[in-house]
């Protein structure tokens, strides 16, 4: 599954976000399966995983030996605050207060595609993050996607 787009949204006073219709139509096939909402590891945002994507991404975590302390510590922190969430009949998803506090989510948010998941950002933090990295993006693109890093032989 791939999700495309960046969507400006608002969170209501109860902490619910309404999925924009363009995004809802992309998620139509997975809406009934529910989602997993978690803290991002690298950014001050949340990650919304369709259930199937979550199951795939957690397979690697499930292979970690829990009798190795750093693995056990990683699993505990990785799973901290993880929640199952569902869209209601109108397409609203409740963002739990502790996760909203972690991401500093206010009223204005951005739902940003991260290919197979959706990042949920406070609008100002999203704009600052994108702006901060735009100048270095060409160098990053070359390092990450450049031919020398992707040779298969």
Q: What is the pLDDT of residue 147?
A: 65
Residue at 138 is within a domain? no
- State residue 141's pLDDT score: 81
pLDDT score for 130? 86
Question: Does a structural domain hold residue 145?
Answer: no
**What integer pLDDT is reported at residue 150 of this predicted model?**
53
d(CA 22, CA 4): 9
| pLDDT given at position 148 | 63
Instruction: Note if the pTM is more than 0.85.
Output: yes
Phi then psi dihedrals of residue 148, to 5 deg: -60, -30
Q: Is residue 100 one of the residues assigned to a domain? A: yes
Q: According to the model, what pLDDT value does residue 2 have?
A: 81
- Distance CA(20)–CA(7), nearest Å, equals 7
Task: Give the count of beta carbons closer than 10 Å to the beta carbon of residue 124.
Answer: 13
Strands (E), 103-153: 108-113, 118-122
* Residue 48 is assigned to a structural domain of this protein: yes
In 3D space, the residue among 70, 72, 30, 29 whose CA is nearest the CA of residue 50 turns out to be 30
Domain presence at residue 1? no
Q: How far apart are CA 130 and CA 113, in angstroms?
A: 13
Say how many domains are in the chain: 1
Range of the domain at 104: 6-124
CA dihedral over 87, 21, 119, 151, signed as positive or negative: positive
47 part of a folded domain: yes
The CATH number linked to 106 is 3.40.1550.20
How confident is the model at residue 67, as a pLDDT? 96
Query: Is 75 within the bounds of a domain?
Result: yes
Tens-digit pLDDT string for the chain (153 aa): 688 899 999 999 999 999 999 999 898 888 889 999 999 999 999 999 999 999 999 999 999 999 999 999 999 999 999 999 999 989 999 999 999 999 999 999 999 999 899 999 999 999 998 887 777 777 878 888 886 655 554
pLDDT at 151: 57
Q: Under a CB-based contact definition with an 8 Å cutoff, are residues 39 and 80 in contact?
A: yes
CA–CA gap between residue 41 and residue 62 (Å, rounded) = 17
74 is a domain residue: yes
């Amino acid at each position: 599954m791939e999700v495309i787009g960046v969507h400006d949204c608002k969170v209501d006073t109860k902490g619910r976000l309404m999925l924009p219709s363009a995004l809802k139509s992309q998620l139509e096939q997975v809406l009934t399966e529910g989602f997993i909402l978690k803290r991002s590891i690298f950014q001050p945002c949340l990650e919304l995983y369709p259930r199937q994507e979550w199951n795939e991404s957690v397979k690697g975590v499930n292979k970690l030996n829990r009798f190795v302390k750093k693995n056990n510590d990683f699993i505990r922190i990785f799973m901290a605050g993880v929640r199952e969430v569902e869209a209601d009949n109108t397409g609203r998803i409740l963002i739990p207060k502790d996760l909203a506090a972690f991401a500093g989510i206010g009223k204005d948010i951005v739902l940003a595609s991260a290919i197979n998941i959706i990042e949920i950002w406070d609008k100002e933090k999203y704009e600052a993050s994108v702006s901060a990295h735009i100048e270095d993006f060409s160098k990053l693109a070359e390092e990450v996607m450049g031919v020398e890093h992707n040779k298969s032989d």
